[in-house]
């Protein structure tokens, strides 16, 4: 009986992990944007409070590479020049969902994911902050 229970638990866990992996890969960042990620809408309204919280999270976790104003001129020694987040070129798509996916999951080589360090709400606040840096991105 105990072996059966362990087997059922292991089977359920592996099924859940496989489903979670498929879900994550469906919206994973892709150069040029991901149509599935682009469908995701930002559930956090872009208010002064959200932008302020996003600014604080950005300064704490992102400015070292991307610079204090998002221009890609941070002080961290990186092998790849961090992108300017205020220009018109977004390598992984420019929708809110694409930006969320990049922050959440990272990119394959350029940037680590922050899902373990930030809540989804914190990430959406950063998206709102990034939108405030460049009116063209709104």
Nearest Cα to 128, choosing from 117, 138, 136?
138
Residue 55 has pLDDT above 60, yes or no: yes
Residue carrying structure tokens 């205020």 = 86
Q: Say if pTM beats, i.e. exceeds, 0.75.
A: yes
* Domain CATH for 79: 1.10.760.10
**b/e map 84-101, b = 16+ CB within 10 Å:** bbbeeebebbebbbbbbb
- CB atoms inside a 10 Å sphere around CB 14: 10
Q: What distance in Å separates the CA atoms of residue 98 and residue 83, rounded to the nearest whole number? A: 15
Q: What is the pLDDT of residues 1-54, one digit of tens each?
A: 555 433 434 444 344 333 334 344 688 888 888 899 999 999 999 999 999 999
Cα separations in angstroms, 75 against 93, 131, 135: 25, 22, 25
Give the SS3 label for residue 89. coil
Which residues lie across from 112 on neighbouring strands?
A: 106
Identify the domain containing residue 132 by its residue range. 2-137
Nearest Cα to 130, choosing from 50, 15, 18?
50
Q: What is the predicted pLDDT for the residue at 12?
A: 41
Which residues lie across from 106 on neighbouring strands?
A: 112
Residue carrying structure tokens 């709104």 = 138
Q: What distance in Å separates the CA atoms of residue 4 and residue 14, rounded to the nearest whole number? A: 15
Q: What is the pLDDT of residues 74-123, one digit of tens each?
A: 888 777 888 899 988 788 998 999 999 999 999 877 789 999 999 999 99
What's the structural domain count of the chain?
Answer: 1
């Amino acid at each position: 009986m105990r072996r059966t229970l362990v087997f059922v638990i292991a089977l359920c866990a592996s099924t859940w992990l496989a489903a979670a992996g498929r879900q994550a890969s469906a919206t994973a960042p892709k150069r040029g944007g991901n149509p599935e990620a682009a469908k995701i809408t930002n559930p956090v309204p872009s208010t002064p409070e959200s932008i302020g919280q996003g600014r604080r999270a950005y300064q704490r976790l992102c400015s070292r590479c991307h610079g204090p104003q998002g221009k890609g001129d941070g002080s961290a020694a990186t092998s790849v020049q961090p992108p300017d987040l205020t220009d018109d070129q977004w390598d992984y798509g420019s929708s809110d969902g694409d930006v969320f996916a990049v922050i959440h999951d990272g990119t394959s080589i350029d940037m680590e994911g922050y899902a373990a360090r930030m809540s989804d709400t914190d990430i959406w606040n950063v998206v709102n902050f990034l939108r405030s840096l460049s009116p063209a991105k709104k």
